[in-house]
Structure 1
Amino acid sequence: MNNLHNLDNNIKAKINGGGVSIGVFLVSGSPFIAEAMANFPVDWMLIDFEASHITNENLLHILQAINGYEITPVIRVADQNRRMIEFCLDLGAKGVMIPKVDTAAQAAEVSNACYYQPKGNRGIGGIRASAFYTNTKEYLNRANDCILSIVQIESKESIANLDGIAGTANVEILFMGLGDLAASYGQTGNVEGKLIDEARQKVVAACTKYNKIPGIYAHSIDVVNQYIQEGFTFIAIGNEIKFMSQGLGDSLNKIALRS
């Protein structure tokens, strides 16, 4: 069966079953590299519009490259533009991550754009998502169940408004962006320390209270197990460029090079 006809969401299934869902970000815009990464047992891949040069055409080709694998495709949009949210879903994404959501009002607006009525207010137009009209009825019936709305918590304001954001009906994952959060606390480049530790605890507590999924980007593999112990169940462990750079660096360090 073509994966466009598969409307299950492996992220939801794994986390609802008590597991932790591990994924990677894609920032290169390369379908070739995305396909190579898809051979590894990660649960999801996030195509990053916010922090990369990816174009609409790159996006389509990357989705096509990973659709042949049991990878759940997620897209991070560049901003809170509902047209772009709908565009990504119509191309076949099963999750959309929206950056810099600081208030409950923003959370409601962007998460509602992810779902068809009566749950939300997403427009009808999923040409590729419906497997090019070969699966339209089932897609319209099941899309609200297979889509994940993910809002990013990455500022002092969003931490202050956690209760309202987490309590927003259509928000499913609260995903911490520690880099921007650290900067908002006046410690740019330092994602550790008391303030960040307390923020993580608050996010997990809010998710527990409202039955939402806590997510986070691990800036180091060394902290992934720590985050799992803290209660995070949707974790990004890096991006493909970082893995390539680290791999090359590790290989060179093992060679006795002469100057």
Structure 2
Amino acid sequence: MTPSIGDAFGEDRPAGSWLSIPHPQVAEQTAAAGFDFVVIDTEHAPTTVETVESMVRAVDAAAGETAPIVRVAWNDHVRIKRVLDTGAAGVMAPQVNTPEEAEAFVAATRYPPEGRRGMAAARASNYGRDFGEYVASANDEIATISQVESPEAVENVAAIADVEGIDTLFVGPADLSASLDVFGEYDSEVYTDAVETVLTESSVPVGTLATTPDEVDRWNDVGFDYQIVGTDAGYLATGAAESLSRYR
């Protein structure tokens, strides 16, 4: 685990990468590129808990200090505790729309008495060998990333950000723009106003996803604190298309 990743979102403008291909070699190669963190997606990717554990292990094996974060399929304490037991450094939860949902999210990542995470001698604690040490530190070291993907979340953004234990917010551009009925129209006033509200009213760092170099520049100019600067599937598609085009 990289203990400082939660704090790093606000201090170091970290760069991340998205992992939607459920294979440890992809995770290890991406981490070896030097990203500060990677997000292993289980919401829209066919990634099982067993594969998550293999991918977390692969990220840990790569040179450097890349932090493995897992995007769970839903803000559900059962899903969250299972991915944390793999040794993930943090969790990203989708569709956190109210401060109450944010509180439930944080509680799922914390051991009692601060939360409701269940005890288990799993990989995160070296299979129980370091259980006491892990339990003593995990509540402070697990990064919690709350996604902003709806008008309701935008409306409640200040209260969500103020929930103790929320390290950072993450604007999902596709989902937020779709929920605002301007899918992909990132220059539309309704979308830019929503993003400005999030950036202005959040008391914690705010990040987003860029899928092209132009989007990296766009979101940097907007003022996001950090970015996920691409996806594994996107790198593959772009590289393949460029190589084929050059040959043709």
Q: Does 1:110 align with 2:105?
A: yes
1:128-170 CA-partner distances (Å, limit 9, x unpaired): 1001122212211111121011111001111111122112112
- Aligned-pair CA distance for 1:112: 1.4
Asked if 2 retains the 8 angstrom alpha-carbon contact of 1:10 and 1:72, the reply is no
Partner amino acid, structure 2, of 1:11: I
Q: Does 1:35 align with 2:64?
A: no
Partner in structure 2 of residue 184 of structure 1: 179
- Aligned-pair CA distance for 1:13: 5.0
Asked if 2 retains the 8 angstrom alpha-carbon contact of 1:111 and 1:171, the reply is yes
Further displaced range: 231-240 or 172-181: 231-240
**Alignment equivalent of 1:50, drawn from 35, 39, 43:** 43
Normalising by structure 1, we get a TM-score of: 0.88
Q: Does 1:83 align with 2:74?
A: no
Asked if 2 retains the 8 angstrom alpha-carbon contact of 1:20 and 1:228, the reply is no
Partner amino acid, structure 2, of 1:252: L
Further displaced range: 111-120 or 160-169: 111-120
Partner in structure 1 of residue 147 of structure 2: 152
**Alignment equivalent of 2:8, drawn from 6, 14, 35:** 14
Distance 1:252 1:202, change over 3 A: same
- Aligned-pair CA distance for 1:117: 2.7
Asked if 2 retains the 8 angstrom alpha-carbon contact of 1:91 and 1:126, the reply is no
Q: Indicate the SS of the match to 2:109.
A: coil
Partner in structure 2 of residue 64 of structure 1: 57
Q: Indicate the SS of the match to 2:123.
A: coil
- Structure 2 unpaired stretches of 5+: none
**Alignment equivalent of 2:127, drawn from 115, 123, 132:** 132
- Aligned-pair CA distance for 1:126: 4.8
Q: Indicate the SS of the match to 1:78.
A: coil
Asked if 1 retains the 8 angstrom alpha-carbon contact of 2:146 and 2:169, the reply is yes
1:154-208 CA-partner distances (Å, limit 9, x unpaired): 011111111221121121111101111111111223333222212222112222x
* Counterpart-to-counterpart distance in 2, 1:111 and 1:126: 21
Partner in structure 2 of residue 93 of structure 1: 88
1:75-97 CA-partner distances (Å, limit 9, x unpaired): 01101211110111111111111
Identity across aligned pairs (percent)? 30
Q: Indicate the SS of the match to 1:80.
A: coil
- Structure 1 unpaired stretches of 5+: 1-6
* Counterpart-to-counterpart distance in 1, 2:155 and 2:20: 30
Normalising by structure 2, we get a TM-score of: 0.92
Aligned residue pairs total: 246
* Counterpart-to-counterpart distance in 2, 1:234 and 1:111: 21
**Alignment equivalent of 2:17, drawn from 15, 19, 24:** 24
Partner in structure 2 of residue 247 of structure 1: 239
* Counterpart-to-counterpart distance in 1, 2:216 and 2:3: 23
* Counterpart-to-counterpart distance in 1, 2:8 and 2:154: 27
Partner in structure 2 of residue 165 of structure 1: 160
Further displaced range: 231-240 or 90-99: 231-240
RMSD of aligned Cα (Å): 1.7
